[in-house]
Amino acid sequence: MSHFSFVSLGPGDDRQHLPEHRQAEPGQWPKLEAALAAVNRDLMATLPGQGPLILMAAPSWQPSPPSGSDKEQVYVAMPDGRWHGNPVNACDLEEGDPPEPDDMATVLTLVADAAQATVTELLWQVWPICWEHRIGMHPRPAGTADDWYQGETQAGGPPVWWCRGGRDGHCHDVSPVGDLAATLPGKQRRALRRSERERDHRQSPQAG
């Protein structure tokens, strides 16, 4: 199965010439890795049977710059390497953009948004869900209103999972990205703690 989830090929394109892709090397993208670790905590808390997401790197579809240095695009992918959506790193290094955004809040928002796109499209289910209103949530700056739009200069606080609310239109911040476990109903929270204890027990060295 292709790691590219929805690749559109034009006339004369050949699948044999798709860029090679690989799992990103540990330590290569430290900010992206830290953000993905936070998002994976939310994934494990809300979809405990799902394996952690990974970072996949692929050469850019754009021509290489005159310097000859390759440009890579990094995607948030399922454990088997498939992804959906946009890259989470800079796509135009020639313009002086850093390989990773400088602001950690921006990195976390990009990774959370990309993770949501991959999980929702490839598992065919809404994720994550607000337990109070039973609808999907989205990453937004903390404290934003219902009329917030992408790129708004008054960004507000750090990224949270945001719910637009029920029929009363009462939007609300549910949890900082990475802390969804604390919002789980009691039964799910107890089950999560039990599974974590069992996993830690399996991973701990055998005594004696």
pLDDT tens-digit readout, 144-166: 887 777 666 555 678 999 999 87
| Closest to 156 in 3D by CA, of 176, 145, 146, 142 | 142
**Using CA atoms in the order 30, 86, 174, 152, what is the torsion angle rounded to 10 degrees?**
100
Give 13's pLDDT tier (boundaries 50, 70, 90): very low
Q: Give the domain ranges of the chain.
A: 21-61+69-146+158-197
Count other C-beta atoms under 10 Å from residue 191's C-beta. Answer: 13
Contact between 91 and 131 (Cβ < 8 Å): no
Average pLDDT for 191-196: 59
Give the whole-angstrom CA distance, residue 181 versus residue 194: 13
Q: What is the maximum alpha-carbon separation in the chain?
A: 65
Give the model's pLDDT for residue 207.
Answer: 42
Angle at 131 between CA 136 and CA 167, to 5 degrees: 65
Give 187's pLDDT tier (boundaries 50, 70, 90): low
DSSP H helical ranges for the chain: 30-46, 104-123, 186-203
Whether the per-residue pLDDT at 64 is higher than 60: the answer is no
pLDDT tens-digit readout, 80-138: 999 999 899 865 545 556 667 778 998 999 999 999 999 999 999 999 999 889 999 99
